[in-house]
Amino acid sequence: MPTFAAIDIGSNSCRLKIATVQQHRLKTLHEEREVTRLGESVFQTGVISPEAMAGTIRALKRFHKAVQLHVVDKVRVVATSAMRDARNAAAFTEWVKSTTGWNVEVISGLEEGRLIHLGVVTHEVGARGRCLLIDLGGGSCEVTLSDGGRVKAMVSLPLGAVRLQQEFLRTDPPLKTDVARLKQFIDRELKRAEKKLGTPRVGLVVATSGTAAALAEASQALFAKKTGAGKAGAGKAGTKKAATKSKPANEAITENVRLLADRLAKLTNAEREAMPGIGPKRSEIIIGGAQVYASLLERMGLKGFRYSPLGLRDGMLAQMLAEVDLRASVHKKIEDERWAGVLELCKRYGIDQRKAEPVRQHVVELFNALTAVHALPAEYRLWLESAAMMVDVGKFMNHQGHFRHTQYIIANSEIFGFSPEQRQVVSAIARYMGKSRPDPMDRVMRGIPVEQQVFVVRAAVLLRLAVALNQDRASAVVTMKTMVYPKRVVLELVPGRGGAELEAWSLRKERDYFREVFRRELLVEVA
């Protein structure tokens, strides 16, 4: 069975997780983490420092050895907030490529949140109901409202622990005025989150990443100390009170998080380091993260959170599993998520789904009937369906030359479930519906991996045929029979109301290009 590796280059640390597939599930083989503080210099100067680059490269070299040792079949490497902000991110990705051979994918905050959500709901049974997910990393904080295992709303905020430390907390312990400025900034950003999420009524709050782990353990220790004092003074009553308020070790209640956050802001780094659960690396950046958690929990009326060790890399692994194992439970979840993202974009740009649906149906029919002709990978069926639904979104900007606008919108929109590379492929398929043809030197095609370019060309031909089959939108949809022969393909049209002459004429216009791409004649007949 295949073995996958997921590498998360975060603003504070780099993480590696290797898993293999067993009975349509993932089994973890190896995990590593190293604090590299890639974002520390970015949040000060806007660029990644040479020292941070070198330290991260050393960690990635070690990860590379582990990947080779476990004979990994597929590696995915993503970078998050620091790389999104860094002006010299391209130089760093080239260094990674030359050192390890890996392509680094810089993902958006919303894609980061989607993958974290996928990782949590795939493995945490309790998170499949209505819940709120909070992931506070080094550079950003993703807050996701989930219901039934699906994302309902999400926001990505610039409230990462390293970012806040660099921008607001320069002294040890921090000045009261700096802490006040920090709280004002957090409050401003949480107002933005409130507009998107409202006041979520959830029974479960799941928090991921190192800051949440440290706060859960430290607040538990603080609470135990408080209740211990209460017992000493109150005897049995104190014991009863402690028993009713005790929490599992991975949970934290809002009251204690606030007390802990305010206490941490008054301590020196050495004092913070000595606290349970925090340690030397986390103590340097814990103040900002603690304030974010305390303010977020209070503002949204939440009772507390439960820490989960799952995160971005788990979502990456789940997606890799879904792409190769159609029987895995996560496969259908991702397919549904992708399609919901496509329909959301169509709604945003005023696409009439009733008119787009026949194009989608025809392109699926052509894909299935011409499998021996086009030889496209299985995933191109979804890429074609998506392109068929979104092919006219460019008209929102301008009817003239709208396929250019369509390509731009698809490539640059956040569509859940689609990586930037996948969006680029879908956008390229939708781009070439007019007079222009795919050319390797086009700006659009240069963004497509070389090995995918021939597939994009073939897929574009199929979509052109589907569009041609839907010229007369006023009449009933034309149906067709497809017959494949060694040297030709015959499309026999069965007219709807109003005939099929316009569709037949449009299809015949595609014959030369069909022959050029597939080396077969295209014959069009009307029954």
Look at residue 478 in the predicted model and tell me its pLDDT. 81
**What average pLDDT does the structure give for the chain?**
89
DSSP string, 431-496: HTTSS----TTSHHHHTS-HHHHHHHHHHHHHHHHHHHTT--TTSPPPEEEEEE-SSEEEEEEE-B
Number of domains present in the structure of the chain: 3
Verify that 334 and 292 share a domain, yes or no: no
- pLDDT digit string, tens, across residues 442-484: 899 988 989 999 999 999 999 999 999 987 655 567 888 999 9
**pTM of the predicted model over 0.75:** yes
Do 104 and 133 belong to one domain?
no
Q: How far is CA 511 from CA 323, 429, 504, in A?
A: 34, 18, 11
Domain finish residue from 286, 320, 354: 320
Render pLDDT for 208-238 as a digit per residue (tens, 0 to 9): 989 999 999 998 887 776 655 444 444 444 4
Find residue 3's DSSP bridge partners: 20
Alpha helix stretches (DSSP H) within 173-253: 176-197, 210-234, 236-245
The Cα–Cα gap between 226 and 272 comes to 18
Whole-number Å distance between alpha carbons of 184 and 195: 17
Q: What is d(CA 497, CA 476) in angstroms, rounded to the nearest whole number?
A: 5
pLDDT over threshold 70, residue 249:
no
Structure tokens at 174: 């921090």
Residues 326-375 pLDDT 10s:
777 788 888 888 898 899 999 999 999 888 999 999 999 999 999 999 99
Rounded to a whole number of angstroms, the CA Rg of the chain reads 27
Residues 145, 263: one domain?
A: yes
Over 90: is that where the pLDDT of 521 sits? Answer: yes
Say which residues have a Cβ less than 8 Å from residue 351's Cβ, sequence separation at least 6.
389, 390, 392, 393
Both 332 and 304 in one domain: the answer is no
Strand partners, 8: 15, 78
Same domain for 233 and 99: no
Query: What is the reported pLDDT for 476?
Result: 62
Domain holding 249, by residue range, is 125-309
**Cβ burial, residue 71 (10 Å; 0-12/13-18/19+):** exposed
Higher per-residue pLDDT: 120 or 476? 120
Q: Are residues 175 and 131 in the same domain?
A: yes
Which residues, in sequence order, are CB contacts of 281 under 8 Å at separation 6+? 35
Q: In what order do the strands lie in the sheet with 521-526?
A: 479-484, 488-494, 521-526
Residue 227 has what pLDDT? 58
In this structure, is residue 130 part of a structural domain? yes
Question: Residues 80, 162: one domain?
Answer: no
* Average pLDDT score over residue span 3-10: 96
Question: What CATH number is given to the structural domain containing 417?
Answer: 1.10.3210.10
82 assigned to some structural domain: yes
pLDDT at 247: 57
Position with higher pLDDT, 93 vs 228: 93
pLDDT tens-digit map of 184-199: 999 999 999 998 888 8
Same domain, 283 and 181: yes
Q: What is the pLDDT of residues 15-26, one digit of tens each?
A: 999 999 998 889
Question: Model confidence over 27-37: pLDDT tens digits?
Answer: 999 999 999 99
Residue 277, burial from CB neighbour count under 10 angstroms (0-12, 13-18, 19+) = middle
Specify the CATH number for the domain of residue 56: 3.30.420.40
- Over pLDDT 90: what percentage of the chain? 68
Nearest to 355 by CA among 504, 463, 477, 461: 477
Query: Which contiguous run of DSSP H or E holds residue 411?
Result: helix 402-412
